[in-house]
């Protein structure tokens, strides 16, 4: 084994290790091998590896890779969390607890780890990076395979997966490991730090398993974790867990665990730990063990590559499941585990136990371990780093999909949910679905210090009205009649699953403010012997995380029940829009669009009203009262002081007034066919819509179809200040800041009325979006942009976007408040809304495609017993006019160990916040400062991990926590995104569009937005159903080839890249022409050909659009066409044409920063 890894190493300097893994994957055994190497390696390896790395490290890059592997490991852990729950094996944990103590060893570990780590990194990374290709998959498979066979798993688990390892590690660390480990560890290190354990574990008992595990090790970590969790299955997890726990617990846990854990496993793990450590560990010596034993392995995993797998898994397992719960115990993760996680997770018990222990252990050890990686010799070769060795989001997603798809039960506190890309279904058992609310951290540090030290953002991304996939029930609606929602007397929190009833059910105590409130008589119910209300499972608000209340009048504006909301189409009818065909297009299709008005639950037809306003330099209102023979047009020329000229008839029921609307739609184009008006107003048009809603006393949304800079004499008149050259420079904020406050004020006024504004921009010149977009931002609207709109080319796209915008679930006149239990509180808010105070987000409307991101801060210390409770309440008017309150509850764990924190991070949510933060800084900071700040934050996150959680390793090694192994990549993506750093190649409007867009992105979309998906279409299997997507490849030019056909999309843009050598048959099938050169690249769609390939490709495109819920424009790019530059801009792993760093370069840079921080 060693040889191999080493070889790899050499070939791929810093990355070597990772590669090694990957390669190893070939024989999952690698793990096995690794160890060998480890042992040997560690000693020698370490020196050598590390040493080498160091040298390489200088380059810094190498480290990175390594890190990632480690990361993966942790990630794995996270995944396991689910298992954790099962972990209930309180027993085990407890035991673990003790192990933890060893924690201290951790320190030692660190030292040790450091050395081991290096190797690990090397390995780890490889595994990760390489893994992605071969390794990972293998690993995954393993896990999977293992899963089937409980035992196998175990092995895997231990080896790859994690849990076993995890636990083992813990125990190992604490106890024996230390001693034994030391010895072994080093060796491990040599190989993959962590791996060793894993491997060991595997080797030992599940040798077979191990190998896989080891191999999987890396991958497994991720996958492994996932799997176990995924399965959620006691069995699988059990196996995995037990082992882990066992391992971790070795002694005590073991016992406890044993039962739960698969015998086989435990032993393996156990043995793994002890043994492996022993064996493998040896090298590790004192430290190693610790690291090894507990988390170290994991962290080291990364470092170790091989170990990572195992360790990773443990981590994974631990973090998620136990992660939180166990954590409580703090050091004695196990202690914790038993706590919450354990108990609840009956099935999982063992798992959790295992998981936990590992974690805790991991936590401590991790530090040492995780970091371990990279530096090694690999580092040395930074320049030659193989991009493929870098942690890959594709791989991570694939792993997550493999491990965590299935059902996600939200019955446990602080469970890290699957990635948004993963297909899973949610079973709401007390916490709201992660589709509705996600946290960046599921294990909140007890004190603010730790957060400050790590610089990990604590944030929630809330998409309260997100659409749920088929198979998931929408939040149930609770109607308590005149009683209204039951609330805490002090903090006004709403009745939810976290409320505890006391005093025989006569009072309830609020987890947010601790106050106890009398239960209203109508609501009283006796408690059963466990202290639960007898009707707990009959009332959604007592047992579910997300539900809705029907509101009483007190929750309504002016204490009156609202009227059904309205959609008003506000159409610019100036020359541009008539010429471009927009007006015709809309008029011809409005009828169809109106059929899609949203229908509320329990309704048979939509009760929403619609209205029409047009404008150019004056504003035209249309009276469409159904009783009229023909529509009436009322022109208001008083744009200085807009008002609504009619009482009723503007807002009508679309079905009742169909005839009049039809006739209006026939008339409209004729009315304006000869217009030559080019001086357009905008402010008054929006005011008109707003006033109309105000007059009708209802809330609603305006769909404004606007064409040009509002230069007409009217409030909100703007001057042209187009100067795209300043984009990207320090002066960019001048053009990105509104030139007048008018639209901000207008937005605020709109919010007061409950009027949301969505803007369809069909401009062909500068419109000063930074200014006019404010009104959209403040009113919870969306911007759709169609530059150089031509009806025949873009009409379909606009109509689809419009249909979606009209039909999507939406709430009006909303107000949202996030309540948190004492100790933390929301401090910063990002998204499209207005705030008039510091706590309430006022959303004129919020729809399913938008999210708000809320940053939390400590304002006090937390206690691990209590955890952190979050309740986001959205008071809104449904499309039927019913006033409802949607309540989302989420509980998080509290940890005192940094490792726990790192194990339960949700990177996607974190990046979601980071983008928004970066965008919000654009206006008052310079691009450079933003870049530096973001890099500094990442560096600190990683450095602090390295310093506090990973085992000591050479400074040259880059160690990444499993959960965050993609952080450098995403950070780079953020920095390269159009929103944050769009330069002169964009127009100001374009840039602004991206800024607004990114501000309201839900996590689901931000992931895609940051890291575009590149789908190879040339290898499509046409026999598959049309909507099956091929596996994406990394967004790098390296993946392209002359014969290729690729689809690139990020939710906003979509490109079809055609290699010049694309086979003529394919060209013929797809485009109906002879050669690539003849393809009409200006077409916005593929010709509708009846060939299998065409059907398949169009199926893919449709599917992508469906997934993104956006009818992205298809831009056809031929290789070497001019447009290719634009296309390449989205290959985010490459060096950008504007000089932005490639993934590899950025990684190196970041590593340098980390090292700077560490010294």
Which residues in this chain contact another protein in the complex, by CB under 8 A?
A: 575, 579, 616-618, 621, 630-639, 641, 643, 645-648, 663-664, 666-667, 670-672, 674-679, 713
Q: Smallest gap, in angstroms, from Cβ of residue 396 to another protein?
A: 53
Q: Smallest gap, in angstroms, from Cβ of residue 983 to another protein?
A: 32
* Residue 561: HSE in the Cβ half-sphere, 13 Å Cα cutoff: 11
Give which of 1032, 851, 971, 967 is closest to 401, Cα–Cα.
1032
Q: Smallest gap, in angstroms, from Cβ of residue 935 to another protein?
A: 49
> How far is Cα 450 from Cα 783, in angstroms, rounded to an integer?
39
3-class DSSP state for residue 1098? Answer: helix
In the bound state with another protein, the residue whose beta carbon lies nearer, of 641 and 1042, is 641
In the bound state with another protein, the residue whose beta carbon lies nearer, of 629 and 1077, is 629
Give which of 867, 844, 1058 is closest to 414, Cα–Cα.
867
Give which of 1086, 1156, 1084, 1082 is closest to 1113, Cα–Cα.
1084
In the bound state with another protein, the residue whose beta carbon lies nearer, of 634 and 1157, is 634
- Token pair, residue 115, equals 């050395």
CB 300 within 8 A of CB 199: no
3-class DSSP state for residue 638? Answer: coil
Cβ density class 1080-1117: b for 16+ within 10 Å, e for less? eeeeeebeebebebbebbbbbbeebbebbebbbbbbbb
In the bound state with another protein, the residue whose beta carbon lies nearer, of 666 and 1138, is 666
Q: Tell me how crowded residue 525 is: count the other CB atoms within 10 A of its CB.
A: 16
Q: Smallest gap, in angstroms, from Cβ of residue 324 to another protein?
A: 59
Give which of 241, 251, 312, 224 is closest to 100, Cα–Cα.
251
> What is the secondary structure of 802-860 as a DSSP string?
HHHHHHS-EEEEEEEEEEE-TTEEEEEEESS-B-SSSSEEEEEEEETT--EEEEEEESS
Q: Smallest gap, in angstroms, from Cβ of residue 602 to another protein?
A: 32
Q: Smallest gap, in angstroms, from Cβ of residue 765 to another protein?
A: 13
> What is the secondary structure of 79-121 as a DSSP string?
HHTTTTTT---HHHHHHHTTTSTTHHHHHHHHHHHHTTTTHHH
In the bound state with another protein, the residue whose beta carbon lies nearer, of 713 and 1043, is 713
Q: Smallest gap, in angstroms, from Cβ of residue 769 to another protein?
A: 22
In the bound state with another protein, the residue whose beta carbon lies nearer, of 579 and 584, is 579
Question: CA-based Rg of the chain, rounded to a whole angstrom?
Answer: 29
Cα(first)–Cα(last) distance of the chain, in Å?
34
In the bound state with another protein, the residue whose beta carbon lies nearer, of 634 and 1081, is 634
Q: Smallest gap, in angstroms, from Cβ of residue 643 to another protein?
A: 5
Q: Smallest gap, in angstroms, from Cβ of residue 663 to another protein?
A: 7
Query: Residue 119 — φ and ψ, nearest 5°?
Result: -55, -50
Query: Residue 509 — φ and ψ, nearest 5°?
Result: -115, 140
- Token pair, residue 512, equals 């947010």
In the bound state with another protein, the residue whose beta carbon lies nearer, of 518 and 648, is 648
- Token pair, residue 159, equals 């080896």
In the bound state with another protein, the residue whose beta carbon lies nearer, of 143 and 715, is 715
In the bound state with another protein, the residue whose beta carbon lies nearer, of 551 and 613, is 613
Q: Smallest gap, in angstroms, from Cβ of residue 567 to another protein?
A: 21
> How far is Cα 1073 from Cα 1064, in angstroms, rounded to an integer?
9
In the bound state with another protein, the residue whose beta carbon lies nearer, of 638 and 1065, is 638
CB 327 within 8 A of CB 321: no
In the bound state with another protein, the residue whose beta carbon lies nearer, of 697 and 836, is 697
In DSSP terms, which residues pair with 886 in a beta bridge? 548, 874
Q: Smallest gap, in angstroms, from Cβ of residue 642 to another protein?
A: 9
Distances 1085 to 795, 1026, 1049, 1081 between C-alpha atoms, Å? 12, 16, 14, 9
Q: Smallest gap, in angstroms, from Cβ of residue 554 to another protein?
A: 26
In the bound state with another protein, the residue whose beta carbon lies nearer, of 123 and 681, is 681
3-state secondary structure 163-208: HHHHCCHHHHCCCHHHHHCCCCHHHHHHCCCCHHHHHHHHHHCCCC
Give which of 333, 224, 331, 335 is closest to 269, Cα–Cα.
224
> How far is Cα 943 from Cα 949, in angstroms, rounded to an integer?
10
> How far is Cα 1139 from Cα 1108, in angstroms, rounded to an integer?
29
3-class DSSP state for residue 372? Answer: helix
Q: Smallest gap, in angstroms, from Cβ of residue 718 to another protein?
A: 18
In the bound state with another protein, the residue whose beta carbon lies nearer, of 631 and 1032, is 631
Q: Which residues contact 470 (CB under 8 A, 6 or more apart)?
A: none
In the bound state with another protein, the residue whose beta carbon lies nearer, of 642 and 979, is 642
In the bound state with another protein, the residue whose beta carbon lies nearer, of 164 and 645, is 645
Q: Smallest gap, in angstroms, from Cβ of residue 647 to another protein?
A: 4
In the bound state with another protein, the residue whose beta carbon lies nearer, of 618 and 1089, is 618
Q: Smallest gap, in angstroms, from Cβ of residue 613 to another protein?
A: 12
> How far is Cα 759 from Cα 780, in angstroms, rounded to an integer?
11
In the bound state with another protein, the residue whose beta carbon lies nearer, of 693 and 856, is 693
Give which of 335, 135, 315 is closest to 240, Cα–Cα.
315
Q: Smallest gap, in angstroms, from Cβ of residue 691 to another protein?
A: 11
Q: Smallest gap, in angstroms, from Cβ of residue 654 to another protein?
A: 18
Tell me the torsion sign for CA atoms 59, 62, 65, 71: negative
Q: Smallest gap, in angstroms, from Cβ of residue 656 to another protein?
A: 18
> How far is Cα 161 from Cα 241, in angstroms, rounded to an integer?
9
Distances 92 to 29, 95, 260, 666, 1025 between C-alpha atoms, Å? 29, 5, 10, 75, 47
């Amino acid at each position: 084994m060693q040889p191999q890894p080493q070889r790899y190493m050499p070939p791929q300097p810093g990355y070597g290790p990772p590669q090694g893994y990957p390669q190893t994957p070939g024989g999952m055994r690698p793990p096995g091998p690794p160890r060998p190497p480890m042992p040997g390696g560690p000693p020698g390896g370490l020196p050598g590896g590390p040493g080498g790395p160091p040298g390489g490290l200088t380059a810094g890059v190498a480290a990175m890779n390594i890190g990632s592997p480690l990361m993966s490991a942790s990630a794995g852990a996270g995944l396991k969390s689910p298992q954790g729950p099962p972990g209930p094996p309180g027993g085990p944990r407890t035991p673990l607890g003790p192990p933890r103590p060893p924690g201290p060893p951790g320190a030692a570990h660190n030292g040790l780890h450091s050395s081991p780590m290096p190797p690990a990194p090397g390995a780890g990374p490889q595994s990760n990076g390489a893994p992605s290709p071969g390794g990972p998959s293998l690993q995954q498979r393993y896990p999977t395979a293992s899963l089937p066979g409980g035992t196998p798993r175990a092995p895997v688990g231990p080896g790859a997966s994690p849990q076993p390892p995890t636990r083992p590690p813990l125990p190992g660390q604490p106890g024996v490991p230390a001693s034994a480990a030391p010895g072994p560890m080093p060796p491990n290190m040599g190989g993959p730090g962590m791996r060793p354990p894993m491997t060991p574990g595997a080797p030992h008992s599940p040798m077979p398993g191990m190998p896989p595990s080891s191999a999987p090790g890396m991958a497994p970590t991720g996958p492994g974790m996932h799997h176990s969790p995924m399965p959620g299955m006691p069995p699988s997890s059990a196996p995995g867990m037990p082992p882990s726990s066992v391992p971790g617990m070795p002694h005590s846990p073991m016992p406890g665990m044993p039962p739960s854990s698969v015998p086989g496993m435990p032993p393996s793990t156990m043995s793994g730990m002890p043994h492996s450590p022993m064996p493998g560990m040896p090298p590790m010596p004192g430290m190693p063990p610790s690291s090894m034993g507990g988390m170290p392995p994991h962290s080291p995993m990364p470092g170790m590559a091989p170990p990572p797998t195992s360790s990773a898994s443990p981590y994974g397992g631990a973090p998620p499941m136990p992660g939180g719960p166990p954590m409580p115990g703090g050091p004695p993760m196990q202690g914790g585990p038993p706590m919450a996680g354990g108990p609840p997770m009956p099935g999982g018990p063992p798992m959790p136990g295992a998981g936990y222990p590992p974690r805790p252990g991991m936590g401590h050890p991790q530090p040492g371990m995780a970091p371990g990686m990279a530096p090694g010799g690999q580092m040395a070769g930074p320049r030659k780093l193989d991009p493929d060795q870098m942690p890959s989001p594709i791989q991570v997603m694939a792993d997550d999909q493999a491990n965590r798809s299935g059902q996600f039960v939200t019955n446990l506190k602080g469970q890290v949910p699957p990635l948004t890309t993963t297909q899973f279904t949610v079973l709401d058992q007390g916490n709201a679905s992660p589709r509705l609310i996600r946290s960046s951290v599921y294990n909140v540090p007890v004190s603010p210090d730790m957060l400050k030290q790590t610089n990990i953002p604590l944030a929630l991304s809330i998409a309260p009205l997100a659409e749920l996939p088929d198979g998931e029930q929408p939040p149930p609606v609770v109607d308590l009649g005149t009683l209204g929602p039951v609330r805490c007397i002090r903090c006004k929190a709403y009745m939810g699953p976290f409320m505890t009833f006391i005093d025989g059910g006569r009072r309830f105590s609020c987890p947010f403010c601790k106050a106890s409130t009398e239960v209203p008589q109508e609501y009283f119910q006796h408690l059963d012997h466990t202290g639960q209300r007898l009707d707990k499972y009959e009332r959604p608000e007592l047992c579910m995380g997300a539900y809705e209340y029907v509101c009483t009048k007190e929750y309504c504006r002016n204490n009156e029940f609202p009227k059904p909301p309205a959609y008003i189409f506000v159409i610019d009818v100036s020359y541009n829009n008539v010429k471009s065909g927009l007006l015709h297009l809309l008029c011809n299709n409005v009828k169809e669009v109106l059929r899609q008005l949203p229908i509320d639950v329990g309704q048979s037809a939509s009760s929403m009203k619609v209205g029409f306003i047009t404008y150019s330099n004056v504003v035209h209102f249309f009276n469409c009262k159904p009783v009229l023979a023909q529509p009436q047009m009322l022109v208001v020329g008083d744009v200085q002081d807009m008002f609504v000229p009619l009482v009723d008839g503007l807002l009508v029921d679309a079905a009742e007034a169909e005839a009049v609307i039809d006739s209006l739609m026939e008339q409209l184009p004729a009315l304006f066919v000869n217009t030559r008006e080019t001086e357009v107003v905008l402010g008054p048009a929006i005011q008109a819509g707003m006033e109309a809603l105000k007059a009708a006393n209802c809330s609603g949304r305006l769909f404004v179809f606007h064409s040009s800079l509002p230069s007409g004499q009217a409030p909100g008149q703007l001057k042209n200040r187009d100067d795209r050259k300043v984009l990207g420079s320090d002066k960019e904020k001048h053009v990105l800041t509104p030139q007048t406050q008018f639209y901000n004020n207008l937005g605020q006024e709109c919010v007061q009325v409950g009027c949301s504004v969505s803007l369809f921009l069909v401009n062909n010149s500068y419109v000063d979006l930074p200014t006019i977009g404010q009104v959209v931002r403040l009113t919870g609207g969306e911007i759709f942009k169609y530059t150089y709109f031509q009806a025949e080319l873009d009409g379909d796209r606009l109509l689809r976007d419009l249909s979606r915008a009209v039909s999507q679930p939406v709430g009006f006149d909303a107000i949202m408040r996030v309540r948190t239990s004492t100790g933390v509180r929301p401090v910063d808010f990002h998204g499209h809304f207005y705030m008039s105070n510091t706590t309430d987000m006022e959303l004129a409307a919020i729809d399913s495609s938008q999210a708000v991101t809320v940053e939390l801060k400590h304002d006090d210390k937390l206690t691990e017993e209590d955890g952190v409770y979050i309740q986001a309440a959205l008071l809104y008017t449904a499309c039927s006019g019913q006033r409802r309150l949607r309540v989302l509850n989420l509980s998080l764990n509290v940890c005192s160990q940094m490792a726990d924190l790192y194990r339960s991070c949700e990177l996607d949510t974190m990046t979601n916040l980071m983008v928004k933060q970066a965008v919000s800084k654009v206006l008052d900071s310079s691009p450079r400062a933003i870049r530096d700040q973001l890099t500094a934050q990442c560096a600190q996150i990683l450095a602090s991990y390295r310093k506090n959680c990973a085992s000591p390793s050479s400074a040259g090694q880059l160690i990444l926590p499993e959960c965050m192994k993609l952080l450098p990549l995403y950070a780079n993506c953020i920095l390269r995104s159009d929103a944050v750093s769009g330069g002169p190649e964009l127009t100001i409007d374009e840039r602004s569009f991206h800024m607004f867009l990114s501000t309201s992105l839900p996590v689901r979309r931000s992931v895609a937005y940051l890291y575009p998906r590149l789908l190879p279409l040339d290898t499509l299997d046409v026999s598959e159903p049309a909507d099956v997507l091929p596996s994406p490849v990394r967004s790098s030019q390296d993946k392209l080839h002359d014969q290729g056909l690729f689809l690139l999309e990020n939710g906003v843009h979509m490109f079809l890249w055609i290699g010049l050598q694309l086979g003529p048959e394919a060209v013929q099938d797809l485009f109906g022409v002879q050669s690539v050169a003849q393809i009409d690249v200006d077409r916005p769609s593929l010709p509708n050909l009846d060939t299998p390939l065409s059907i398949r490709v169009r199926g893919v495109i449709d599917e992508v659009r469906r997934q993104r819920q956006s009818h992205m424009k298809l831009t056809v790019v031929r290789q070497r066409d001019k447009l290719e530059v634009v296309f390449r801009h989205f290959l985010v792993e490459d060096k950008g044409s504007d000089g932005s760093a490639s993934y590899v370069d950025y990684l190196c840079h970041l590593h340098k920063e980390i090292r700077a921080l560490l010294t």
